[in-house]
Amino acid sequence: MSAHAEPYCLRSRLSWRLISLQAGLLVALAALVIGAVWSSGLPVIERDEDRVIDVVQWALERDAQGSLFLRPTADLKQLREDSPDLWFLVRDRQGHTLSEGAVPDEFTAIGDALDHISQARLGWQMFEDDPRKPPVRMKRVNTDAGNLQIMTATQGRMSGAKALFGTSLTLLAIALPGLLLMAAATLVATPMVVRRAFAGLDTTADQARAIDFRQRGSRLSADHLPREVAPLVAAINDALKRLDDGYSRHQRFVADAAHELRTPIAILNTRLESLADGPEKTRLLEDSARLATLAEQLLDIQRVDQCRNPFTRVDLIAIARSVAADLAPLAIAAGYELSLETVTERVETSGDRVALERALTNLVQNAIQHGGRRGTITIHVGRAATIDVTDEGDGIPPDQRALIFDPFYRLAPLDRGAGLGLNMVREIARLHGGHVAVLDGPNGGACFRLTLPPAPLVD
């Protein structure tokens, strides 16, 4: 089994991947340029008088009389071969000089005036400049012959390592600001682009959160969504349609089954009524009543699910009287007394009278079935639009009170109830904006309290 993948931020992932791609492209471009330059064998920077100064610096020495001379180093030999126009002038502060090549007259006598200058570049006047006269590089360096001044205008060939280093620095100086600018633009622009591209996704998510399983036909809108997300929305809509079709088939099956059960149950009741009175007739009538209740509960599932009737003002006391009158014979036959208590003549709520009547009927039938066949079942209608149905049975353990409203849940495995009545009561209460709860009865039994919103006051 694969580990659960944590969700990630698309904006951050796109931003950093784009920046990595840009950096990789710039590095590849720089490597390509450096490789091309390196393979061509051409110096990147033609002007490199420092190369001449470096070679001369390491070749300088003094003889016994203090005169300057050059050792025949390999670099000096290579320099002379590469630069046929080589010239340089070396002098110390004592006036000793050493030169090679055709030193321009303009620079033969100015060295002493530059004794206090460590390095300089000496050019020509702008309007009298001869493009064939490159500027002169002067630098004071430490050599084996002491601290000396070296002048040259020869542009020596740059070494491979120095050329590579110089080229890399040049490309880095050009590429790095561009990379930083592109990275900044990517970090700013990518979240904006992604946010605008997925703006419609928030609306679609709100639609998905608002889907109620009781409302068939709900679909997600694919408007203003990227084409990459549209297949996901289409797949979800197809799944919703399949769920709707399956639920509709289920509802038709439940309704058809309930209707089909009504006829044989009615025939059974007629035949039971013709039997002689006695305990067996009573038990059979109770079983038949439970079958009829089950059929009605199956129909109630469809009625509540498809309830589209506009709510009206309903008198809860009138509903309680009607239910008490209908179920009194069944309660008395089961060994109970049935009592109706009211505190006023009228208590109103806003709702569906038929659904509320079914909810109260289910509560009273539940009390008849589980009240222990003793004592009194009391229906109490309170001023705050509450209806309490109390029995004097064994009660319901606290840890079971939240479970008994689940469909097909039974307190005892051999319970003959279907486990649908209390679930239907909860659904009807929710449909009306109320709730149902289980409390302890005053005489040790269970008290089911149906709480509904009071009807608004009429001016």
Q: Is residue 31 part of a domain?
A: yes
End-to-end Cα, the chain, rounded Å: 65
Q: Look up residue 72 and give its two tokens.
A: 């025949």
Dihedral sign from CA coordinates of 384, 389, 390, 394: negative
Is 392 in the same domain as 271? no
Q: Is residue 430 part of a domain?
A: yes
Is 327 in the same domain as 427? yes
The phi and psi torsions of 204 (rounded to 5 degrees) equal: -65, -40
Q: Look up residue 256 and give its two tokens.
A: 């058809």
Strand partners, 60: 70
Predicted confidence at residue 35, as pLDDT, reads: 67
Residue 336 burial (10 A CB sphere; 0-12, 13-18, 19+):
buried
Q: Which run of H or E residues covers position 169? A: helix 160-197
Predicted confidence at residue 450, as pLDDT, reads: 93
Contact call for residues 149 and 115 (beta carbons, < 8 A): yes
Taking each helix axis from N to C end, the angle separating 279-305 and 421-431, rounded to the nearest 10 degrees, works out to 30
Domain that holds residue 24: 10-42+162-197
Is 323 in the same domain as 454? yes
Q: Look up residue 314 and give its two tokens.
A: 């309903």
Q: Look up residue 358 and give its two tokens.
A: 């079914």
Low-confidence ranges of the chain (pLDDT < 50): 1, 42-47, 126-127, 414
Q: What is the CATH number of the domain that holds 83?
A: 3.30.450
Residue keyed to tokens 């679609």: 204
Based on C-alpha coordinates, what's the Rg of the chain?
51
Is 379 in the same domain as 446? yes
Is 301 in the same domain as 313? no
Is 137 in the same domain as 117? yes
DSSP state of 114: G
Is 29 in the same domain as 55? no
Is 35 in the same domain as 59? no
Give 259-306 as a DSSP string.
Answer: HHHHHHHHHHHHHHHTSPSSHHHHHHHHHHHHHHHHHHHHHHHHHHHT
What 3-state class would DSSP assign to 249? Answer: helix
Is 244 in the same domain as 352? no
Give 85-107 as a DSSP string.
Answer: T--EEEE-TTS-EEEES---HHH
Closest C-alpha among 160, 158, 161 to residue 51: 158
Is 328 in the same domain as 423? yes
Q: Is residue 1 part of a domain?
A: no
pLDDT digits (tens, 9 = 90+) for 373-387: 888 999 999 988 899
DSSP state of 395: -
Is 186 in the same domain as 301? no
For 181-218, the three-class secondary structure string (H helix, E strand, C coil) is HHHHHHHHHHHHHHHHHCHHHHHHHHHHHCCCCCCCCC
Predicted confidence at residue 172, as pLDDT, reads: 63
When divided into structural domains, the chain yields a total of 4
Predicted confidence at residue 5, as pLDDT, reads: 58
Q: Is residue 285 part of a domain?
A: yes
Q: Is residue 202 part of a domain?
A: no
pLDDT digits (tens, 9 = 90+) for 154-197: 775 555 555 556 556 666 666 667 767 777 777 777 777 777 76
Is 402 in the same domain as 302? no
Predicted confidence at residue 414, as pLDDT, reads: 45
Predicted confidence at residue 308, as pLDDT, reads: 54
